[in-house]
Amino acid sequence: MPQKFIVRGQKVSKDKIALAKALRSNMTPAETILWQSLRGNRLGGWHFRRQQILYGFIVDFYCHAASLVVEVDGEIHKSQRLADQERDAALAEKGFTILRFSNHEVETALPSVLDKILFACNQTLSHPLLSPPLAGEGPGEKS
């Protein structure tokens, strides 16, 4: 079941918030490429956030409506696979779906990556309250 109000009510340290902001300002080239396709509800109307804090973890991209976490892994992740697996398990236990892509995948096969992300988001469409908003119905939409 997707999380409700996951951002509200979290106790997050100022240091963690500062780190998330710094990561937003210093995205990797692969993260920047993916963000250009996710931002502004560009992927099927689904809203994504970048460098979102969830239960003490900073995730690369997060879609609240689909309870979906998308991670873009660079070389550093080869040496921290166990930590990533533990983190993924902790988030999955909270009801999140986690997708991981390598920098190389994002840089060389972006359409395939986007298809996989959109497919994961659309898996939540069986619940009518979790559907992406129609054009003009979302918060901040201009008519």
Helix (H/G/I), strand (E/B), else coil: 22: helix
In a domain, 138, yes or no: no
In a domain, 5, yes or no: no
In a domain, 20, yes or no: yes
Neighbours of 70 (CB within 10 A): 25
Q: What is the DSSP letter of 6?
A: S
Contact 138, 47 (CB under 8 A): yes
- 0.75 exceeded by pTM: yes
Q: Report residue 4's pLDDT band, with 50, 70 and 90 as the boundaries.
A: very low
Overall number of domains in the chain: 1
In a domain, 65, yes or no: yes
Q: What is the pLDDT of residues 15-62, one digit of tens each?
A: 878 878 888 888 999 999 999 999 999 999 999 999 998 888 989 999
Q: Which residue range is the domain that position 39 belongs to?
A: 14-120
The CATH number linked to 52 is: 3.40.960.10
In a domain, 59, yes or no: yes
In a domain, 116, yes or no: yes
